[in-house]
Chain A
Amino acid sequence: MLTTRKSSFLIAAVAAIIVASTFGASAYATDITGAGSTFVYPVLSKWSAAYNEKTGDKVNYQSIGSGGGIAQIKAGTVDFGASDAPLSSEDLTKFGMGQFPIVSGGIVPAVNVPGIPDGQLKLTGAVLGDIYLGKIKTWNDPAIAALNPGMTLPSSRITVVHRSDGSGTTYNFANYLSKVSPEWKDKVGFGTSVAWPAGVGGKGNEGVAAYVRQIKGSIGYVEYAYALQNKISYALIENAAGKYVKPSIDSFAAAAATADWGSVKDFNLVITNAAGEDAFPIAAVTWIIMYKAPKNAEHSKAAMAFFKWSLENGQEQAKSLEYVPLPKPLVDRIESYWTSEFKG
């Protein structure tokens, strides 16, 4: 027992010496810890690998879900939390925390309608809301036919697929439906999980995608990156300006850029149904949540430096993973938020 303990101590000591000597400039490499959203995990780990090479600081991120991330940062067991749903300004003030967006993405409605080519089916937000409310039951419903003139729609039944687990994807999707369908807002509302009026629930993006692929006449919603990698056919949704915009990094970025960030405190804004001409209607951002006066100031400072580096230099890495880097004006806004809110 004693010998193993001794030797492991020795190994740790040797490792510490090696680490310290490799990164001589930054005498102490800091271990930054974070937890939360599963959505940002791939891009955060890519950024942290690149950042580690550059500075020696390491980011340990546990992708345990947004709810878990919020709980962990509130408890102060991590240096930052990441969430797909924003905290309200009251909540932030209560805990003395601040939040800011870090990266953006999009959510597309995945469809499996026999005979309809990929990316051709057009839906408005209101019709999508009625489908998810269970009011529109078949694909040849007049409301859908009116939006797709000249398309032969099958008479098959619509099966709605949603997430069974709580998720930021659900939060943004339901938030979008609340904005475009008053009835949805009244009856269901939005949150990381909601009381679905109809349909079946799949676990995770992969669960929803598997159900959509298998059930003929089904419609679901998945993250764009996931839909792209798995070649899932999607429908187009009319945006706030009345246009049908294809999901792409550009149209998500347009949503992040045209969203009215100046109107809210602490970036507490969900960017669905953004106003821009080219804005994709169901775009989403992930927030980082941190203490303004943290217990471990040194770690927090290191985390802040990491996020600054990521926002300014991480665009290419994000794009390679189909994430959308935040547009320059928003990054400027975030950096001025840091200087005004995160003092010291």
Chain B
Amino acid sequence: MSTAPESHMPAPSVERFATRDSRADSIFKGVFGLCALLVLLVLTGAALAMLWGGREAFAKFGWKFLVSSDWNAVTHEFGALVPIYGTLVTALIAMIIAIPVSFGIALFLTEVAPSWMRTPVGAAVELLAGIPSIIYGMWGLFVFAPFMAENIDPWLDEHLGSVPYIGALFSGPPLGLGMLTAGIVLGIMVIPFISSVMRDVFQTVPSRLKESAYALGSTRWEVVWHVILPYTRSAVIGGIFLGLGRALGETMAVTFVLGNAHELSASLLMPGNSIAATIANEFTEADSEIYLSSLIALGFLLFVVTFIVLALAKLMLMRLSQREGNR
């Protein structure tokens, strides 16, 4: 090729620089545009492939696939209600636990902790994020589930099981496995993700804002609530949804502690199933076309569920910023 070293050329004219620059610009634009386009292509490609793979199930069961709680490989009746319910409930429990705890961790690390403590504890939190999910699953199965079975489940059953309305959520045999256990394990898994994002954005709050608030006599809590949180709100919510996305799609850890039973039960102490766990469990031995198709259709539904949840989040963010504008 004819790319001679240009530094040795005698005084190149301005036009040549300009054409070279504009060529470089267009190449730059093209390459990075392609990168961005690739994401879209992969995304739609994956969604379409799953829709195509699941077409048989959608054609056979129609919209009933969404509301049926059947899952019978012998009679070839499949429905996605139990896995969808399990996925949403475990993710919800996880978020109920993870959001306040992550908030506390991030706040402690940025505002309260002495400075010698911040770096090691922050690094430890980030290390937690690197633990493979199967390790959480094994810990959940061998350590946490027996603990739940012996201490937490009987207590819940005894004290909350007979309370009207919420009683149904907490009654059942103390198996130690089930949606509550899975939700808690998931919560522990996503805490490092959410808290490290929160910590990073809390650090970006300019100290003059905080110092002004302190100077006006604000307490630490008032500074957090009225200065830090409003300043970082969208990034905080972004971090929460990063964690939520992970909780919705988590497979191995959930499979270990969820109980994997295709049964719809109100009680959080009972075993359930999630979309990702069902696919992981049953894919290898799905021996009929419609079975395999139903599993792929489940994958597509996970895609749809995640998309809906994230879209709702974006909508919420937009609403919030609009209100902000009106104030």
Please report A residues at the B interface, Cβ cutoff 8 Å.
64-68, 70, 85, 157, 159, 164-167, 188-196, 199-203, 207, 210-211, 214-215
B249 at the interface (CB under 8 A from A): no
Is B284 touching A195 in the complex (CB atoms < 8 A)?
no
Q: Quick one: which of B175, B259, B277, B287 contacts A70, CB cutoff 8 A?
A: B287
**Complex formed: what's the CA distance from A167 to B285 in Å?**
6
A-B contact pairs, 9 of them (CB 8 A): A66-B287, A164-B282, A166-B282, A193-B73, A195-B74, A195-B262, A199-B271, A201-B261, A201-B281
Q: A164-B281, A165-B282, A188-B74 are in contact. List 8 more A-B contacts (CB 8 A).
A: A66-B285, A67-B285, A85-B287, A159-B173, A191-B73, A195-B262, A199-B271, A200-B177
Is the CB–CB distance between A192 and B73 below 8 Å? yes
Asked whether B255 is an interface residue with its Cβ less than 8 Å from the other chain, the reply is: yes
Interface of A is mostly: loop
Who on chain B is nearest to A168 by CB?
B285
Q: Select A190's contact among B74, B141, B149, B285, beta carbons within 8 Å.
A: B74
Find out whether the CB atom of A189 lies under 8 angstroms from the CB atom of B74.
yes
Q: In the complex, which residues of chain A have a beta carbon less than 8 angstroms from the beta carbon of B261? A: 164, 196, 199-201
Identify A194's interface contact among B72, B146, B149, B287, CB under 8 A: B72
CB pair A196 B262 closer than 8 Å: yes
CA distance A195 to B78 in the complex (A): 10
Tell me if B200 is interfacial: C-beta within 8 Å of chain A. no
Contact B173 A194 (CB under 8 A): no
- Minimum-distance CB pairs A-B, first 5: A166-B285, A164-B260, A201-B260, A65-B284, A195-B72
Given contacts A194-B72, A194-B73, A214-B146, contact A68 B284 (CB under 8 A): yes
Tell me, rounded to whole Å, the shortest Cβ–Cβ distance linking B288 to chain A: 9
| Residues from chain B with Cβ under 8 Å of A164 in the complex | 255, 260-261, 277, 281-282
Chain B residues, CB < 8 A from A210: 141-142
Shortest Cβ distance from A215 into B: residue:
B175
Q: A235 CA to B70 CA in the complex, in Å?
A: 31
Q: Using known A-B contacts A165-B281, A166-B73, A194-B74, determine if residue A201 contacts B149 with beta carbons closer than 8 Å.
A: no
B284 near A67 (CB under 8 angstroms)?
Answer: yes
CA distance A194 to B75 in the complex (A): 9
A190-B74, A195-B72 are known contacts. Are A203 and B173 too (CB-CB below 8 A)? no
- Chain A positions within 8 Å of B72 at CB level: 194-195
Q: Are A189 and B75 in contact (CB under 8 A)?
A: yes
Query: Is the pair B74, A165 in contact by a Cβ cutoff of 8 Å?
Result: no
Q: Provide the bound-state CA to CA distance between A159 and B271, in Å.
A: 12
Which residues of chain A are near B259, meaning CB under 8 Å? 200-201
Q: Return chain B residues, CB-CB under 8 Å to A165.
A: 281-282, 284-285
- How far does the alpha carbon of A211 sit from the alpha carbon of B256 in the complex, in Å? 10
B interface list, Cβ under 8 A from A: 70-75, 141-142, 145-146, 149, 173, 175-177, 255-256, 259-262, 271, 277, 281-282, 284-287
Q: Are B149's CB and A215's CB within 8 A?
A: yes
Question: Are B281 and A195 in touch, CB under 8 angstroms?
Answer: no
Contact B173 A191 (CB under 8 A): no
Contact across chains for B256 and A68 when beta carbons are under 8 A apart: no
Q: A191 vs B75: C-alpha distance in the bound complex, in angstroms?
A: 10
**Interface contact A191-B74, CB-CB below 8 Å:** yes
Q: Which residue of B lies closest to A156 (CB)?
A: B173
Are B271's CB and A193's CB within 8 A? no
- The smallest beta-carbon distance between A155 and chain B, in angstroms, is 14
Given A200-B260, A201-B260; A214-B149 close (CB under 8 Å) = yes
* Residue from B71, B75, B262, B287 having most chain A Cβ neighbours under 10 A: B287
Cα A70 to Cα B291 in complex, Å, equals 15
> B58 → chain A, closest Cβ, in Å?
21
B156: min CB distance to chain A, Å: 17
Cβ-defined contact, B285 with A203, below 8 A: no
Q: Is the CB of B281 within 8 A of A64?
A: no
**CB-based contact A202/B260 at 8 Å:** yes
| Residues of A with C-beta under 8 A to B149 | 214-215
Chain B residues, Cβ within 8 Å of A157: 173
* Alpha-carbon distance between A167 and B145 when the two chains are bound, in angstroms: 25
Known: A66-B287, A166-B73, A191-B74. A203 touches B271 (CB 8 A): no
Q: A66-B287, A190-B74 are in contact. Are A200 and B175 (CB under 8 A)?
A: yes
Bound Cα distance A210, B177 (Å): 12
| Whole-angstrom CA separation of A106 from B146 in the bound complex | 29
Closest-CB distance, B137 to chain A (whole angstroms)? 10
Nearest A residue to B270 by beta-carbon distance? A200
Cα of A195 to Cα of B260 in the assembled complex, Å: 12
Q: Which listed residue (B70, B141, B277, B285) contacts A68, Cβ 8 A?
A: B285
List of B residues within 8 angstroms of A196 by Cβ: 261-262
A215 to B277, CA, bound (A): 21
Minimum C-beta distance from A67 to chain B (A): 4
**B285 with A192: CB separation less than 8 A:** yes
Residues of chain A with a CB closer than 8 A to B142's CB: 210
Q: Which of A66, A157, A200, A215 has the most CB of B within 10 A?
A: A200
Cα of A165 to Cα of B262 in the assembled complex, Å: 12
Give the distance in Å from the alpha carbon of A324 to the alpha carbon of B284 in the complex.
25
Which residue of B70, B176, B255 is within 8 Å of A203 (Cβ)?
B255
Q: Which residues of B contact A192 (CB under 8 A)?
A: 73, 285, 287
- Closest chain B residue to A197, Cβ basis: B263
Query: What separation, in Å, do the CA atoms of A167 and B262 have in the docked complex?
Result: 16
A residues less than 8 Å from B255 (CB atoms): 164, 203
B70 pairs with A214, CB closer than 8 A: no
